Structure 1
Amino acid sequence: MRQQNKRHVMNKWKLRNKQLYILLRYSVAKVLSYLLPAKLFAKDLWLVCERGTDARDNGYFFYKYLREKHPHIPCVYVITRNSPDYNKVATLGNVVHYGSLQHLYYINTAKHLISTHAAGFLWNSHWIRDGILKRFYRHKGNFIFLQHGVIIHYLAGLIYPTYQCDLFICSAKKEYEYVKNTYGHPDGVVQYTGLCRFDYLHRFTIKKQILLMPTWRLYLNGLNDSAFLQSDYYKAFSQLLTDPRLEEILEFYDYELIFYPHYEIQKFLPLFHSPFSRVKLAVFKQYDVQTLLKESALLITDYSSVFFDFAYMKKPLIYYQFDKKSFYDNHYAKGYFDCDTMGFGKVAHTFDELLDRIRETVKAGCALQEPFQSRINTYYELYDTNNSQRIFECICRLEK
C-alpha cells in the first residue's frame, strides 16, 4: 500500500513537471510566433488534433476528409511519435509531433484549430487559459470543437463564457437544441452537422460479438490499485467477467465478449481478469474503437455516449446502470436524455437483470426491437455520409 501511494505521488510530480516544461516551451513558441509570422511559415494552416496520442475519432476522420477531398488546403495533424495510430495518419501526410516546438508554434499561428477535445491542443490547458497569463496564451485562430462524444449530461465546463469556441459541432437535433438553449454560446456557434465519424458507420460486417464498453468515473481517476479494487465499478464489471452464467450464454449462442473500458480506465485494465476463453480484455493500443463498434452485434454500456454510434448503425444495446445515483451525484449532472424513457435499448439496474437482458437479446439474434427502432429513426434526422462536408462548409463560413 505504501509503495503504491509513493508511486501515485511520483506520477503526480512527474505530470506537474511535464506541464511546467510544456509551459516553458509554449512561451518560447509564443515569442517565435511574433518573430516568425504565419504568412511565412504557416499561412492559412488548419491544425487538427484529438488527445494528441491517438487518431481514431472525429479529428482523424475530418483530417482524412481534408486530405482526400481538399488536398489544396494546408493542414497538419498533431500526434505523438509513439502513438499506435501514428503510421495511419502519416500515410495521409503532414504530421507534427505533439508537444514539439513546431506544434506549439502552430497553435499560435494556425488559422483554424480543430479538435475533438475541449482542452484543445495542450493537456490541462485550463490552468493556462484561465489564469493570469490568459491574454498572453490566447491563440489567434478559430477554435472548432468537433466533440468526441455526444452530449447527454449537463457539462458545466462547456458553458459559455467558461468555455469559448468558434464552432461547437453537434451530432443530432435534440443535442443541438439542448446545447444551444442551455450552454449560452453566441448565435451561430452551435451547429447541427452530424459527427465526422458517422460518415463511416454505414457499411460494416457483424460478428457474433458482444462489446462491453462502460465509461469512466471522475471519482476513480486518482485512486491507486488497491482503492480501485474496492470500488463498485470494479466489483460490478469483474462480477460479469467471471460469472459462469455469462460463460453459459456465450457458449450456448456461440458469442464472444470484448471488455473495452474507457480511455481513462484503461490504466486499471490489468486488474481485471476472466477465466473464460470467450471473454477478451481489450487494450487501447491494440484495438480500434470504431472497428469494435462496427463489428459487434450487441453493445453493453452504462452512461457512455458511445451508444449513439451503435444506435446509429441500428443495432441493439443494453444500459447497465448499477450505480445511477452515485454517477449523477459525483460524475456528471443529469442532462436532457433519460435512458429509461428515451433510450435506444433496455436498462438493467441489477446484475441479474443484466444477464437476463443479454440472454434475451442474443436469443433473438440481436435484432433491434421496438420501440427502440422508432426512437433511433426519430433521433437521427440527418442520416448520410455528408457530415464532414457540412462541418467543412461551416468552417469555410468563418472565413467570410
Structure 2
Amino acid sequence: MEVDNILQPIYGYDKKDIVLTGLARYDGLVNNDKKQILITPTWRRDVVNNGVACEKKTHNDYFKKSTYFKIYNDLINNLTLIETAKRTGYQIIYLLHPAMSSQSVDFDRNDYVQILEATGDMSYEKILTESSLMVTDYSGVQFDFAYMRKPVVYYHPDALPPFYEEGVFEYETMAFGEICKQEDVLIKTLCEYMENDCRCKEYYKERADRFFAYDDRNSCERIYHEVKRFLDEKN
C-alpha cells in the first residue's frame, strides 16, 4: 500500500520512478513506552499568519476566537480525560504543529497536560517512541506511530472541515484507529484505551501490517543499495 499511496496523481510520480525501500526515519522507531498520551493535530491555514506550513509564524490574535482553538483547548482541559490519566498512570502531551507553535501561549494550562512547541532541537523520534497512544486528525506522523503498531485515535470534529488531500489516504477504510467526531466519544475511547494499557487492537494492527511493506528497520540499508545500484548503472 505504501507504493499505491505515493503513486497517487497528486505526487506526480510514474511507477518506474518508485523503488520500495521504506522510509529511512522508520529505522529509529523502536517502542520505548513511557505511559504517555500524545495529542498532536495538524495545522490549519485559516488560523495562522501566512498560510504556508513550513514557515515560522508570528502570533495570530484571532486564534483564540477560532473553532480550532476552542476544540483543542477543551480537549486538553477535559476533566474526565485528566482524571482517568491520573488514575491509570498516564501523562498527557499536547504537541503543537510547527506552524501553530507561536499560539502555545493561548492555551489554558493545567497541572497534568504538558504543552510543547515544535522546535528545531526537539526530537520527534523520542516523543513518538515514548508515547503509548496518539490522538491526531490528519498529521503525517500517524504513519510513524502506526509503524510501531501502537494505537492511533483520530479526532475529526464536524465543526472543523477536513484538511487532507482526498484520494491519497482514505480514512474510512485505511485509518489505523477509531475515528471520533464528538468530544465525548473521543474521551470515552481514550479512557477505555488507558484502562486497557493502550494495547493496539488486532483489527487496526492488521491494517498497519497490510500498509507497510517492511517491518525490519532496515530501510537505510535498502536505500543505500538502491542508490548505489542507480549510480553504478549510470557509470
Task: Report the alpha carbon displacement of residue 370 of structure 1 after superposing the two structures with TM.
Answer: 2.6
Query: Contact 2:48–2:60 (CA<8 Å) still a contact in 1?
Result: no
Question: In structure 1, what is the equivalent of residue 23 of structure 2?
Answer: 195
Aligned length: 222
Q: 1:225 to 1:218 in 2, by over 3 A?
A: closer
Q: Distance in 2 between matches of 1:306 and 1:341?
A: 18
1:282 and 2:116 correspond: yes
Residue pair 1:217, 1:327 contacting (<8 A) in 2 also = no
Contact 2:67 2:160 in 1 (8 A): no
Q: Secondary structure at the match of 1:192?
A: coil
The reply to whether residue 214 of structure 1 matches residue 41 of structure 2 is yes
- The alignment partner of 2:63 has SS state of helix
Residue 142 of structure 1 is matched in structure 2 by none
Q: 1:324 to 1:347 in 2, by over 3 A?
A: farther
User: One-letter code of the match for 1:317?
Assistant: V
Equivalent in the alignment of 2:194: 362
TM-score by length of 1: 0.52
Corresponding position: 1:344 with 2:176: yes
- 2:143 pairs with 1:315: no
- Whether the aligned pair in 2 keeps the contact of 1:340 and 1:346 (CA below 8 Å) is no
Report Cα offsets for 1:29-86 as digits up to 9, x if no partner. xxxxxxxxxxxxxxxxxxxxxxxxxxxxxxxxxxxxxxxxxxxxxxxxxxxxxxxxxx
Percent sequence identity is 31
1:52-67 correspondence to structure 2 within 5 Å: none
Matches within 5 A, 1:59-138: none
The question of 1:257 aligning with 2:84 is answered: no
Does the 8 Å CA contact 1:311/1:317 hold for their aligned counterparts?
A: yes
Alignment match, 1:293: 128
- 1:230 corresponds to which of 65, 72, 91: 65
Shift of 1:249: 1.2
Kindly provide the CA deviation profile for residues 283-342 of structure 1, in whole angstroms up to 9, marking residues without a partner as x: 3236411101101111111111211111111111210111586234xxx33123222322
Q: Does 1:380 align with 2:212?
A: yes
Q: Name the CA distance, whole Å, in 2 between partners of 1:274 and 1:354.
A: 20
* Separation of aligned partners in 2, 1:228 and 1:325: 14
AA in 1 matched with 2:117: V
The CA distance in 2 between the partners of 1:184 and 1:279, in whole Å, is 41
How many Å separate the matches in 2 of 1:324 and 1:313? Answer: 31
Note the alpha carbon deviations across 1:100-153, whole angstroms, 9 max, x for none. xxxxxxxxxxxxxxxxxxxxxxxxxxxxxxxxxxxxxxxxxxxxxxxxxxxxxx
- The answer to whether the 8 A contact 1:255-1:278 is kept is no
Deviation at 1:181, TM superposition (A): 5.1
Check the 8 A contact 1:312/1:380 in 2, yes or no. yes
The whole-number CA distance in structure 1 between the counterparts of 2:142 and 2:124 is 12
Q: Distance in 1 between matches of 2:89 and 2:160?
A: 35
- Preserved contact between residue 229 and residue 235 of structure 1 (Cα < 8 Å): yes
| CA distance in structure 2 between the partners assigned to 1:181 and 1:243 by the alignment | 39
Q: Is the 8 A contact 1:311 1:376 kept in 2?
A: yes
**Cα distance change of structure 1 residues 235 and 181 upon mapping to structure 2, 3 Å threshold:** closer
Q: Give the conservation status (yes or no) of the 8 Å contact 1:206–1:294.
A: yes
1:390 to 216, 222, 229: 222
Q: 1:69 corresponds to which residue?
A: none
1:374, CA displacement in angstroms? 1.1
| Residue identity opposite 1:242 in structure 2 | N
Q: Which has the larger radius of gyration?
A: 1
Query: Following the alignment from structure 1 to structure 2, what is the Cα–Cα distance between the partners of residues 351 and 254?
Result: 22
Q: Tell me what 2:107 maps to.
A: 272
Q: Please report how far the alpha carbon of residue 187 of structure 1 lies from its aligned counterpart in structure 2 after TM superposition.
A: 5.2
Alpha-carbon deviation of 1:359? 0.6
Q: Report the Cα distance in structure 2 between the residues aligned to 1:191 and 1:185, rounded to whole angstroms.
A: 11
- One-letter amino acid of the counterpart of residue 395, structure 1: V
Q: Are 2:32 and 1:205 equivalent residues in the alignment?
A: yes
SS in 1 for 2:38: strand
Do the aligned residues in 1 keep the contact of 2:47 with 2:60 (CA within 8 Å)? Answer: no
How many angstroms apart in 2 are the aligned matches of 1:187 and 1:360? Answer: 42
**Contact 2:40-2:95 at 8 Å conserved across structures:** yes
- Structure 1 segments (4+ residues) deviating >6 Å: none
Counterpart-to-counterpart distance in 1, 2:16 and 2:66: 43
**Offset, 1:355:** 0.5
Superposed, 1:8-23 pairs within 5 Å as none
Unaligned runs of 5+ in 2: 51-58
